[in-house]
Amino acid sequence: MNIKGVNLGNWLVLEKWMSPSLFAGTTAEDEYYLPTQLSKEVYEARIQIHRSEYITERDFATIRSWGMNAVRIPVPYFIFGDCPPFVGCVEELDKAFNWAEKYGLQILIDLHTVPGSQNGFDNGGISGVCKWAQNQESVEFALSVLERLAERYGKRKGLLGIQIVNEPNTESSWNIFNVSERYKPVDPEMAAGSGPISFDFLRKFYVEAYDRLRKYLPVEKAIVFHDGFDIYKWKDFMQEEKFQNVILDTHQYLMMAEMDGCPQTVEGYVSYVKEHYFKMIEEMQQYFPVICGEWCLFNSLACGVDTKGGQSVLNGVEGIQNEVFNEEEKKEIYRAVADIQLQAWEKGSGYFYWNYKLLVDTVNEPGWIGWDAWDLGRCVDQGWFPVERRG
């Protein structure tokens, strides 16, 4: 199957920048601290309203109408409702499977957060903390969540597979992402001792997770692992016969290319994608089916300002107040970066765009110019992203 899909991010795992109103009246920057600043009733009502409205049956119909065949659904470690004060969300995932099966879509379940966090990012559930791998109980808890997901959905027609854990922050990426500066912890004591996840640990964890998942997952259901931001590290991994239907997931954003020195011009982006992504995917596709599980059209050129790796309007880096390009010029930039990246993913086994939607008003909120590229619906509607519409 050549996957053409989109992420349903910010539905079951919250990201403040994608729906700021959910965090209104609090100083919380992430999901961990939100329930500490709201009463139980207000917190639970907010979450339940968000979940019921953010993604509905209509969205599955829309995604299918764009010619897509899959969705990646980030889920939290508390999905089964056993980690108060957080509200479980397994009923929402049940609904998603019913919708997906009605409209002919496949679901990749992605365990997006774990207790103590695997990356220190806000999307890991708690900013500035990365201690999950140091705590055997937390590691075991993550494995138990994976097992329960596999047991519940393993035989579902709509299941594409299960992704073991999202974006573990490894020795290769820890300093690049500058976690302690970019994601300031609320509680420095809790964050003390945070650090990267070793590849040795990750390899063992992935093998253990594979064994536990396969107890419930038929071989036609994929088991997906993330590259820990170093794709070439995995050439000798899971090559033995016992490992079947394993997919390698890499996340590639143009803002990361910019951090790597990619020139902020259309020509710069195109040549970077050709030199790096084409080569990387062709090489690694010899070992695993490779998907790009997260990418988008967002880039500093179209924003009209160097976003410092996607930090403008989020980390005190000023976003631009007035458009630099007219509609046609913007369309040219976005179509060029869409076409070249789609060519890259075609060399592998497919992609999932990040993200399906964004609840930010990029027109009236100052500084958000260019950020609508994170919203696939807006990209499709403005002709930036090519789709094969189904009648």
Closest to 295 (Cα-Cα) out of 326, 269, 261, 328: 269
> Which helix (H) or strand (E) element contains residue 5?
strand 3-7
pLDDT of residue 154: 98
117 closest CA partner among 105, 108, 127, 107:
127
376, two tokens = 């696939």
Q: What is the pLDDT of residue 74?
A: 98
134 closest CA partner among 193, 78, 176, 179 = 193
Residue with tokens 């639970």: 44
Tally the C-alpha atoms within 13 A of residue 116's C-alpha that lie toward its C-beta.
18
Q: Which residues contact 352 (CB under 8 A, 6 or more apart)?
A: 3, 5, 6, 7, 70, 71, 72, 108, 291, 292, 293, 294
Per-residue pLDDT at 318: 78
269-290 pLDDT, tens digit per residue, is 999 999 999 999 999 999 999 9
Give pLDDT, residue 311.
87
Q: Within a 10 A sphere around the Cβ of 219, how many other Cβ atoms? A: 9
Helical (H) or strand (E) element with 350: strand 350-353
SS3 category, 341: helix
- The confidence score (pLDDT) of residue 391 equals 60
Residue numbers of the chain with a pLDDT score lower than 50: none
Q: Say how far apart CA 283 and CA 200 lie, in whole Å.
A: 23
Is 0.95 surpassed by the pTM of this model?
yes
Indicate the residue type of 157. Answer: K
Element (H, E) at 226: strand 222-226
Give the chain's domains with CATH numbers: 3-251 (3.20.20.80), 258-279+297-350+362-391 (no CATH)
On the 0-12 / 13-18 / 19+ scale of CB atoms within 10 A, 89 is: buried
DSSP H helices, 188-326, are 188-191, 199-214, 254-259, 266-272, 279-284, 300-303
Here the tokens at position 224 are 């997906």
Cβ-count burial of 335 within 10 angstroms (0-12 exposed, 13-18 middle, 19+ buried)?
A: middle
User: Distance between CA atoms of 272 and 378, rounded to whole angstroms?
Assistant: 25
Contact 336, 266 (CB under 8 A): yes
pLDDT of residue 312: 80
Task: Specify whether the CB–CB gap between 248 and 292 falls below 8 A.
Answer: no
